[in-house]
A and B are shown apart, each in its own frame.
Chain A
């Protein structure tokens, strides 16, 4: 007999107030009415499409896809159980965690969408700002509030940005989508420099906490690293500053060419200096009006939702011994926590051969149980398509590991070569040119040997099935881009990208590889690294030192033979 269901734990996260609940509820009923009108023919598809996109509903290759917002990647066990229920009741029994910390269901029926949105609203969830030309769901460092590295938990700011941006009358119809990320540590886990706008919590020379603001980063067809707009914005000015950036973008971006509508294009056309000048002009005007000052009491009120949990004291602060498999898992998947006796544990959804980011309803239910029993009812979604238990007692790690083994989610590979990001690709996506997932699976199988993975060390492979770059291929140490070559899938290799604090855009190697050759080409590239690396060098370091030529020569060796 199964153990009794643990009672859901209410973690320290934002909870809807009366306004939020009414806003989401009214939005659900509004969209339910729009769906009914579409089904009756009162709305054409052209009229309905922008409305469904404003509610996270896409029409993909096989069915409708519904993208559920996970604000800054934080979920409670109650929400996870609801997602499991929706997967089981309305989908085909699984969901897919995305590279923007959201979750999407791939087999949704239009007629079921109102019921699904009502179910989501019951647990304070929705699909708003997961699609369309608006400020998208804000993402954050998955270790927020748990890592000892951070200046402060960035999630209160993320929540404030969410509240400011939802239905902001000026920014409902932007030229294109606008993605914001927040972080608070020198080590960037949120790919800040690849966002339209990013905020990093910093301290200035006087020791005062404030915000560094970047803008103009992005991937897609034209990748750019973000520029610093301001090294330090005072706390109370942050919304005015962000509004100034968005206002300049909204006023000055090109709307005549879909490929030139993102803020990165604007900033790189006029130059970062001119952008800073325009932003500062708007900022001074907003400050003069004084309507967008962030009151200290409001910041404190939101911050209180995210107050650190009551961590136990006197816990053993050493990692338990529980065999070699457990030791391997802790080596890569367990990170230091701010509280003695606690740790942060990453659940990689990347067991060898698995679809990166997929999670079944049954697995979600068990993860919810683990969250309640061991992690104060909380989990985080990462942009690398993994989950994180942010607050676990070190002494509980063997028990957690054992439960993850039963789930087949105990892969000890966080940050290693088999911890691959892959977009849904041509297996699901209407925009894709090539499949991503089978390539990820083939590479993972090729490098399945754990000793070999450890020998290679940190190596981030990121795969996109088209130029839109949902799989972040520009930021992969090894990036792979799927293209269509006369109806046949083909894969380009990129080397040297990074989405971390040492951000860089990968360089395209040259002609691509066929579906059955790409994993072998990656293996030859890794072979060059192993042969040429110096002590302590990661793949990325070696690439930056020796350049593309030896890797390219090796990658095409077979073709030349």
Chain B
């Protein structure tokens, strides 16, 4: 049986486009530090709050995505989010993986 699916919230930073993840009422640079939402209402509330904050011009295009927690590590369900969290698989010297 596969691990249960949680939600996380992500967006891009307006000024440089960097990928950010939601933690508390703010944003962090890495997926590992971000908040995990165990149920849909919590995830939707976080998204609604982020959308309400768009006028502050910190981030653009917030959205929720699915993750699984396996052996203490959080891993996105879709390949797209795995790559977005790390960087291009063909250029390990770039993206967040370069400084991990």
Q: Which residues of A contact B (CB under 8 A)?
A: 38-41, 44-45, 59-64, 92, 107-111, 355, 426-428, 432, 434-435, 437-438, 441, 484, 487-489
* Interface 9-mer from B16-24, B30-38, B41-49: B16-24
**What are 16 A-to-B residue pairs whose CB atoms are below 8 Å?**
A39-B15, A40-B57, A45-B60, A60-B17, A61-B80, A62-B19, A63-B17, A92-B93, A109-B15, A110-B17, A355-B90, A426-B79, A426-B80, A427-B91, A432-B80, A435-B89
Q: Which residues of B contact A488 (CB under 8 A)?
A: 79
How many residues of B are counted as interface, with CB atoms below 8 angstroms from the partner's CB atoms? Answer: 27
Q: Which residues of B contact A63 (CB under 8 A)?
A: 12, 16-18
Name the distance in Å between B85's Cβ and chain A's nearest Cβ.
10
* Docked CA distance A448–B79 (Å): 28
Name the distance in Å between B29's Cβ and chain A's nearest Cβ.
12
Query: Assuming A59-B17, A427-B90, is B12 touching A41 (CB within 8 A)?
Result: no
Query: Assuming A61-B80, A428-B88, is B14 touching A110 (CB within 8 A)?
Result: yes
Q: Which residues of A contact B54 (CB under 8 A)?
A: 44-45
Q: Which residues of A contact B55 (CB under 8 A)?
A: 41
* Docked CA distance A62–B90 (Å): 14
* Docked CA distance A460–B94 (Å): 30
Contact B61 A62 (CB under 8 A): no
Q: Which residues of A contact B61 (CB under 8 A)?
A: 45, 59
Contact B91 A355 (CB under 8 A): yes
Q: Which residues of B contact A (CB under 8 A)?
A: 12, 14-19, 54-57, 60-61, 77-80, 83-84, 87-91, 93-95
> What 4 A-B pairs have minimum CB-CB distances, sorted nearest first?
A109-B16, A427-B88, A63-B17, A64-B17
Query: Assuming A62-B19, A110-B15, A427-B90, is B84 touching A489 (CB within 8 A)?
Result: no
* Docked CA distance A92–B96 (Å): 13
Closest to A440 in B: B90
Find A111's partner among B15, B90, B91 (CB 8 Å cutoff): B15
Contact B89 A62 (CB under 8 A): no
Contact A487 B78 (CB under 8 A): yes
Contact B15 A41 (CB under 8 A): no
Closest to A49 in B: B60
* Docked CA distance A355–B17 (Å): 23
Find B84's partner among A40, A59, A61, A487 (CB 8 Å cutoff): A61
* Docked CA distance A427–B91 (Å): 9
Contact B88 A62 (CB under 8 A): yes
* Docked CA distance A108–B17 (Å): 8
* Docked CA distance A437–B12 (Å): 24
Name the distance in Å between A132's Cβ and chain B's nearest Cβ.
18
* Docked CA distance A435–B60 (Å): 24
Contact A427 B18 (CB under 8 A): no
* Docked CA distance A63–B12 (Å): 8
Query: Assuming A39-B57, A45-B54, is B16 touching A441 (CB within 8 A)?
Result: no
Find A441's partner among B18, B60, B90 (CB 8 Å cutoff): B90
Closest to B95 in A: A62
Contact A62 B84 (CB under 8 A): yes
Find B87's partner among A62, A109, A110, A355 (CB 8 Å cutoff): A62
Q: Which residues of B contact A355 (CB under 8 A)?
A: 90-91
Name the distance in Å between A492's Cβ and chain B's nearest Cβ.
17
Find A39's partner among B12, B14, B87 (CB 8 Å cutoff): B14
Query: Assuming A61-B80, A62-B84, is B17 touching A109 (CB within 8 A)?
Result: yes
Contact B57 A41 (CB under 8 A): yes
Q: Which residues of A contact B12 (CB under 8 A)?
A: 59, 63
* Docked CA distance A530–B83 (Å): 37
Q: Beyond A61-B83, A435-B79: 15 further Cβ-contacts under 8 Å? A: A45-B54, A45-B60, A59-B61, A62-B17, A62-B88, A64-B16, A107-B94, A108-B17, A110-B14, A110-B15, A110-B16, A426-B79, A435-B89, A438-B90, A488-B79
Name the distance in Å between A17's Cβ and chain B's nearest Cβ.
35
* Docked CA distance A109–B15 (Å): 6
* Docked CA distance A230–B16 (Å): 48
* Docked CA distance A39–B58 (Å): 9
Q: Which residues of B contact A108 (CB under 8 A)?
A: 17
Q: Which residues of B contact A428 (CB under 8 A)?
A: 88
Q: Which residues of A contact B60 (CB under 8 A)?
A: 45, 59
Q: Which residues of A contact B79 (CB under 8 A)?
A: 426, 434-435, 484, 487-489
